[in-house]
Chain A
Amino acid sequence: MTDTVGIVIVSHSSDIAKGTADMVRQMVGSEVKVAFCGGNPDGGLGTSVPLIIDAINAAWSPKGVAVLVDLGGAETNSEMAVEMLEPARRDLVVVCNAPIVEGAVMAATEAAGGSSLAQVKAVAEELSAD
């Protein structure tokens, strides 16, 4: 479990975040740690830096964590969350430039094979490369 890259899903909607995580677990399996967060602390649409940090901690792996995001604020808040991690862990978290559902499934598939964080990110981003 600890030797695969972890996956974090950050959406503006908790339903989308949870649904995406469900798809990853059902399609890829349970060998990859998947954490998700969506919505602001009041229960509305939005993203929250503390909740993103919690999700990163929940999915933490020594091999790193790949974060999949949806629209604008999810990305900037995820980057902010990464910045707030202690320096030693910052380099082990990447925000992927990929569609959230497809990217999460593909990143998790790659992670399940024991790939490095850079490989997992590259596979997730394959969809937006061309």
Chain B
Amino acid sequence: MLDRADGQIFTGNVRLVHAVGMHARPAVKLTKLAKKFQAQISVRVAGAGEWINAKSVAKIMAMRAAHGSTIEIKASGSDAEAAVAALVDLVASDFPDGAG
């Protein structure tokens, strides 16, 4: 699931299993979790041109990722590997209550 792109950047891909895609509540959870890390974290719907700052709730809510789409995550910084793992886990586990 995780692969080390180079010495600094960690990436992950995860399928969005949430029934209605990346709507408001998952967006808040994802953003809150991302903010717990020092790393710079970006996400995008697989294949989309633009990377989105995972710590910007407005931008995450606006990304309109659909159910079944794949979310790409990349992070750089001291805790980047843990950040990618945590975010992949959050999305893969369908944004459980209490997470984030």
Q: Would you give the shortest CB distance from A58 to chain B, in whole angstroms? A: 23
Most central of A109, A123, A127 by chain B CB within 10 Å: A109
Number of A interface residues at 8 Å Cβ cutoff, please give it: 14
Q: A113-B35, A113-B36 are in contact. Are A28 and B28 (CB under 8 A)?
A: yes
B interface secondary structure, majority? helix
Chain B interface (Cβ within 8 Å of chain A)?
24-25, 28, 31-32, 35-36, 55-59, 61
Let me know if B58 and A27 touch, CB within 8 A: no
- Compute how far the CA of A64 lies from the CA of B91 in the bound complex, rounded to whole angstroms: 32
- Compute how far the CA of A126 lies from the CA of B52 in the bound complex, rounded to whole angstroms: 14
Closest residue on chain B to residue A28 by CB atoms: B28
4 smallest CB-CB distances across A and B, nearest first, come from: A113-B35, A126-B58, A109-B57, A106-B57
Let me know if A113 and B58 touch, CB within 8 A: no
